[in-house]
Amino acid sequence: MKRILLMALLLTALLPNTHAEEHYGILSITGDFGQVEIQNVGVFQTPITLALPAGNYTIKAEGEVEFQVKVFLNTSKLIKITLKTPRGTLIEGNASILKTKITYNSWSNHPIHNETPHLGLGGGCGGGWSPSYWVDHPYPLTALDKGDTLAVFMLNNSFTRCVINGEPVGQIFHVIAGPSFQGGGAIAGNASFVVPFSRVDVDCDVKYSTGYLYSVSTSSMVTPFTILLPVVPQEVHNVTGVDYYGNIILIKRIPKIDTYNLSVGAKQYLLTSVIKLKPNEHYRLKYHLKTAMKAITIEEEPVKLYDVTLTSEPDEAHFKITGRVTVEGTTPQTLNLPEGEYEVIAFKNNTGAKTAFKIPENESVHLKLTPLPARLTLNTTPENARILVDGEPIENSTLTLPPGEHHIHASAPHYTPENLTILLAPNESKSLTIRLKPLPLLRIETTPKGARVEIENKTCTTPCSVELTPGEHVLRAFLEGYENETTQIHLKPGDNTTITLTLKKIKETPKEENTTLTPTPKEETKPSPNPKEEANITIKLLTPLLILILTIVMLKLKKR
């Protein structure tokens, strides 16, 4: 028994500690985006360099183009991320592009093919490979390969025209889709609404790259490719149709579906556009994926890190370290930091402490928290700005505050509000200047004038000016006799921008046959008369004429 106990103690001593300290890596973010969000970490002003525990991180940056970067931070590695506004057009074409996004994902591998796939599919109505793709968010769609470079997306539980050689034809069927199949039944007639298609031709400057609708791709979606998409501008209710057995099919609701996320990807990069479509239209889009790849650059290099243990009195104080890198946490904690000079502030319950240290000279740092207050002086523009500090309004521009982190909110009518965070050390005096920027002003002009424009909950008649919040805005213009126009604009604080929309006249076209299918009645034809009836009709018509001629001849003979 003693031997067993001794062996157990020996093994326990030799085995690694299961409560091992966290290992860190360094994440550096630079570029021309003023602010970035690191998911589950915080929002930071760039440039920023952070010491973070090894693991997965997602970085987001908003602007005219949205950026998303997903990386794995390795132990003792420095990952440098540079985000730059793209130089040149990312996506061009004749569709309404509502949003553009560039995604870098270190775990993805969007394949680049050697050539156009050769699927050998027939062009018949029922032909086409149905891969196991099922999109239920945001729409219940099913995908079909209908050729080497043609994919058709169909809306489940709807009436749809058959597609042959890339064109919808007369035959109609009821689409029934599931996780790994697409089927349906033919409709004999009297379909009250048939979902129209729009065609989108997609090309890319990276040849044979892969296309995606939301997260779905088919074998035929290799650039250049074509997709047919259902487009329903308004929700439709109580749609009926009659199958070949005479049974009435009732579809209670066909959802509105006219906006899609369409992407092209290669390697770790994905370029996405949010497009708004109109029914029965032909669109062409060209993706500049090479331009997108230049907008996000990722570099990784080894970095030597040293252990430093941070403690405080009392424990469980929040700390923030600044210097070569920035790191936050709660004491006590052992960190891995690169060589350099640093400053640390720790605070808890209106007490705080501040000290400087060097790496690798200092292997431990201890902070004794004291209740010494700090002084903050605020200078604001405009002068009538309303200031909240930690959620409470202030009356004076000079404040006495406990050491630690404080949140400041500044706002004023017709100005863009700002949120700031400031870190104060015990007995520190600091001044902060806040200059609010005016709200963006957008002037909208249309050709012709007099269009009604909707922007979120605001409306005006062109030409007009609207004060808006910073960020993305979708504009919709309406004018009787003209097609509706939709566009998107990104506004920054202080912008004074003019946008001009050219509206197209509505073409006068006959009513589309694909909305209502009513069997055309056969033309009534009169029976052809037989030969005897034709002879009788001829005699009846000629008799009065012969009598008249004979009368005239008799009168002339009497005169002689």
Cα-based distances in Å from 72 to 81, 107, 325, 487: 12, 9, 18, 37
Spell out the residues 6+ positions from residue 77 whose beta carbon is closer than 8 angstroms to its own: 25, 26, 300, 301, 302, 303
Separation of CA 122 from chain center? 34
Percentage of the chain exceeding pLDDT 70: 82
Q: Are 77 and 58 in contact (CB under 8 A)?
A: no
371-427 per-position pLDDT tens digit: 999 999 999 999 999 999 999 999 889 999 999 999 999 999 999 999 999 999 999
- 3-state helix, strand, coil split of the chain in percent (to 5) is 10, 55, 35
What ranges in 297-337 are assigned the alpha helix state H?
A: none
Asked if pLDDT for residue 97 goes beyond 70, the answer is yes
Spell out the residues 6+ positions from residue 177 whose beta carbon is closer than 8 angstroms to its own: 134, 140, 141, 142, 154, 156, 183
Asked if pLDDT for residue 531 goes beyond 80, the answer is no
Percentage of the chain exceeding pLDDT 90: 66
Spell out the residues 6+ positions from residue 191 whose beta carbon is closer than 8 angstroms to its own: 159, 172, 239, 240, 241, 242, 516, 517
28-62 per-position pLDDT tens digit: 999 988 899 999 999 999 999 999 999 999 999 98
413-470 per-position pLDDT tens digit: 999 999 999 999 999 999 999 999 999 999 999 999 999 999 988 999 999 999 999 9
**63: nearest Cα among 92, 83, 88:** 83
Asked if pLDDT for residue 276 goes beyond 50, the answer is yes
Residues β-bridged to residue 398: 377
Cα-based distances in Å from 198 to 97, 233, 282: 15, 12, 6
Q: Which domains does the chain have, with CATH numbers?
A: 134-256 (no CATH), 306-368 (2.60.40.1120), 374-435 (2.60.40.1120), 441-502 (2.60.40.1120)
What pLDDT score was predicted for residue 162?
Answer: 84
Asked if pLDDT for residue 539 goes beyond 60, the answer is no
Calpha distance 246→250 (Å, rounded): 13
What pLDDT score was predicted for residue 128?
Answer: 56
Calpha distance 493→469 (Å, rounded): 8
More confident residue, 339 or 559: 339
Q: Are 456 and 512 in contact (CB under 8 A)?
A: no
The single residue listed with the structure tokens 């002879």 is 535
What pLDDT score was predicted for residue 456?
Answer: 84
The one-letter amino acid at 259: T
- Which of 15-24, 257-266, 477-486: highest mean pLDDT? 257-266
Q: What is the 3-state secondary structure (H, E, C) of 206-275?
A: CCCCEEEECCECCCCCECCEEEEEECECCCEEEEEEEECCCCEEEEEEECCECEEEEEEEEECEEEEEEE
Two tokens, residue 286: 């060209």
What pLDDT score was predicted for residue 286?
Answer: 97
- The pLDDT confidence band at residue 549, using thresholds 50, 70 and 90, is low
307-365 per-position pLDDT tens digit: 999 999 999 999 999 999 999 999 999 999 999 999 999 999 999 999 999 999 999 99
**58: nearest Cα among 47, 69, 66, 72:** 69
Mean pLDDT value across residues 87-111:
94
Calpha distance 32→47 (Å, rounded): 9
The one-letter amino acid at 387: I
Q: Which of 162-176, 237-251, 331-345 has the lowest mean pLDDT?
A: 162-176
* Dihedral (Cα; 261, 262, 266, 269), 10-degree rounding: -30
Cβ-based burial of 119 (10 A; exposed 0-12, middle 13-18, buried ≥19): middle
pTM score above 0.85: no
Q: Are 398 and 412 in contact (CB under 8 A)?
A: no
100 φ, ψ to 5°? Answer: -130, 140
Calpha distance 542→544 (Å, rounded): 6
Q: Which of 16-25, 303-312, 483-492 has the lowest mean pLDDT?
A: 16-25
Mean pLDDT over each residue of the chain, to the nearest integer:
85
